[in-house]
Structure 1
Amino acid sequence: MKVCLICLFFLTALQDGDADERISRGMEGGNITVGCSFSFTGAKMYLCKEKCERENILIETRENRAQNGRYSIEFVKTGFISSVIYVNITNLNRSDSGWYRCCLGSIIPQYDDFYLDVTEAPNTLEPNWTPETFTATFLSFLSSTSVTTAATLTQRLNSSSSTTIQQFRTSPELKGETDPLLYVGLSLAVLIILLATALLIYCQRKNLHQKKGES
């Protein structure tokens, strides 16, 4: 009996020593499943955030399956005495990052720890612009816009740009605080808009001349 207890404590120590190398990664808003392995079976299961103390205990059960909100665990026997506790966490958020502990047994508990690293989800609202998508979008805009509309757009852009720059110059909140790079950025933005508009007008006029030549 003493030999068995010594072996059990030795195996538990080995599990705690390997915990530092266990890192599971998930993405914000997603789900994750992690398996905690044990060399012996037990009647009671725990899932804890950090150490299994008081409010850190997320799940405590004697059943093979249990759930508490976004957390759930399932006990699966994988061998004569070996077993796995599968931990599932849904709808991950950044605050879920940290150490977790699976615990099996109550008299002589076994532990298996893992670290959960939740990364920020990519911003899917930003358009994924490529040269092909930009060209297709621009050509579609050209085909649906007339020369008159382009000329009106040019006038409005010129007026809007002048008004914006004038507001930055006269705004009392920005006097003495405006970065020179701001003027450079605004000038470049206006230049790009004017060049795009000029290209739009040129293409429209070219299309009109081609249509007249064909007729």
Structure 2
Amino acid sequence: MKVRLTLICLFFLTALQDGETMRTYTENEEGNITVRCEFRYSGGKRFLCKETCEGKNILIVTTKDKDQRGRFSIRYERRNIFSFDFLHVSITDLKPSDSGRYRCRSDETLDGTLYDNFYLVVIEASTTTATTTSRRTTAAATAATTATAATQNLQLYVVLSLVVKIILLSTPLVIFCRKRRTMKSKDSAVETENDGVNHECLNIYETPPEFL
């Protein structure tokens, strides 16, 4: 991420020093990109250059509407005289070393616009992989946390369900036991009262006649 920001800042500063604002494109390493340059063209040659159109910096120079040199290719699209013509620039299998300023140019123009520039920033695969891995790790951690919370909620639900079932099942038994106990208490009271009467009767019968 730091590499990407540094490159972008560097390219913007260079553009400001050149006195112009340029388009900036960002792509990942090993990817492909196609950029459209536009200018009014009237000459016979098309150029694709990196930085400046001098010496080894000239990637493609051709009089054809289509041409390719290794990973670089161009396709010229002629328009009418009242609009800009297009030069489509393609780069395949991008490498970090491809980062920099590119220039599309014609050898002659009607309005003096000799070229169209753009910046390219290629992000290293290690940076992209690290970002992807970090996102996957975060997603996995979030999924694990969610699964744990769901398991805990399920366990709590099962426990509460069992408690409710036990309460519902035990309630009739408790009521029955209480009724049984109440009935036994009443029976015991009646038996005690009868026993008292019987004892009194026995006492009467057992009293000697002389005391009667």
TM-score normalised by the chain length of structure 2 = 0.50
Correspondence for 2:137 among 96, 118, 128? 128
Partner of 1:29: 30
Q: Are 1:99 and 1:116, in contact at CA under 8 Å, matched by a contact in 2?
A: yes
Partner of 1:103: 105
Compute the displacement of 1:85 (Å).
0.4
Tell me the distance in 2 between the aligned counterparts of 1:35 and 1:106.
19
Partner of 1:211: none
Tell me the distance in 1 between the aligned counterparts of 2:49 and 2:36.
14
Runs of 5+ unmatched residues, structure 2: 1-17, 149-212
Partner of 2:122: 118
Question: Deviation per CA, 1:78-99, whole angstroms, max 9, x where unpaired?
Answer: 3225301010111111111111
**Residue 76 and residue 57 in structure 1: after superposition, are their counterparts in 2 closer, same or farther (change >3 A)?**
same
Tell me the distance in 2 between the aligned counterparts of 1:53 and 1:137.
62
Tell me the distance in 2 between the aligned counterparts of 1:112 and 1:18.
14
Q: Are 2:22 and 2:117, in contact at CA under 8 Å, matched by a contact in 1?
A: no
| Corresponding pairs, count | 132
Q: CA RMSD in A?
A: 3.6
The 3-state SS of whatever aligns with 2:61 is strand
Compute the displacement of 1:118 (Å).
1.4
Q: Are 1:44 and 1:61, in contact at CA under 8 Å, matched by a contact in 2?
A: yes
Compute the displacement of 1:18 (Å).
7.8
Tell me the distance in 2 between the aligned counterparts of 1:65 and 1:73.
6
Whether 1:55 and 2:59 are equivalent positions in the alignment is no
Compute the displacement of 1:33 (Å).
0.9
Partner of 1:87: 89
- Residues 57-206 of structure 1: pairs in structure 2 closer than 5 A: 57-80=58-81, 82-105=84-107, 110-121=114-125, 122-123=128-129, 124=132, 127-130=136-139, 131=141, 133-134=143-144
Q: Are 2:37 and 2:87, in contact at CA under 8 Å, matched by a contact in 1?
A: yes
